[in-house]
Amino acid sequence: MNPILVALDVASADRAVALADALRGAVGGFKIGKQLFTAAGPAMVRELTSRGDRVFLDLKFHDIPNTVAGAVQSAVSTGAWMVNVHASGGSAMMKAAAESARKTADQLGQARPLVIAVTVLTSMDDQALREVGVGRTMIDQVVALSKLTKASGLDGVVASPKEVTAIRAACGPDFQIVTPGIRPADQEGKDDQARTLTPAEAIAAGSTYLVIGRPITGAPVPREAAERIAASL
């Protein structure tokens, strides 16, 4: 499978559908995050899944276990291919998410979505961790949360490409690693990402999927940008 998941971080369903139509076949799927989901709701997920697209529903659930289980149940009903929670919600919350995904998919007679957990947001660095009371280094915190995620029965994690090699060593070859913070070699600046690699570097390090937004969606011809990145892999 093409590992590129395009972040549809846009403000309207019309813009999202136009991008998806332009990129379909050149990428592996699409990510719907908080901006688009808040604007267009579950119907946006269903619109793309009805067209055969793989949708990563990136809402980063983080709440008490029962609430997260209910949210995952609703997410599964949209046909999402992948959903996520925050690993910092703890093992009880993650186990509830995994069980809800399995049970709901069985009830609906559909494939269970991948359930993954966010380790540390890619906009953060060691200083930002200290600000929120985390004494571990970035790499130690990410690896610890990745191990907790695996032990809780989830399929993988979201982490910056800088930590992929360490996660792969700690969690094995079958653990899914989804990496935002991907910036092509010819792009200047990192936007709001603090820990980045190029697409080829991230795949070489062991990433399973690459979440790429502005380098594709902000390009003059998004499909050409996607195809150029895919060719670099």
What's the chain's length in residues? 233
Q: Is 34 a catalytic residue?
A: no
Asked if 33 and 7 touch (Cβ cutoff 8 Å), the reply is yes
Tell me the three state secondary structure of residue 173. Answer: coil
Which amino acid belongs to residue 212? Answer: I
Quote the distance between the C-alpha of residue 72 and its chain's center. Answer: 15
Residue of 31, 60, 150, 190 with catalytic role: 60
**Cα(163)–Cα(6) distance, rounded to whole angstroms?**
21
Tell me the three state secondary structure of residue 6. Answer: strand
Comparing CA positions, the residue from 134, 71, 203 lying closest to residue 58 is: 71
Half-sphere exposure of 59 (CA within 13 A, CB side): 21
Asked if 193 and 208 touch (Cβ cutoff 8 Å), the reply is no
Which positions are annotated as active-site residues? 60
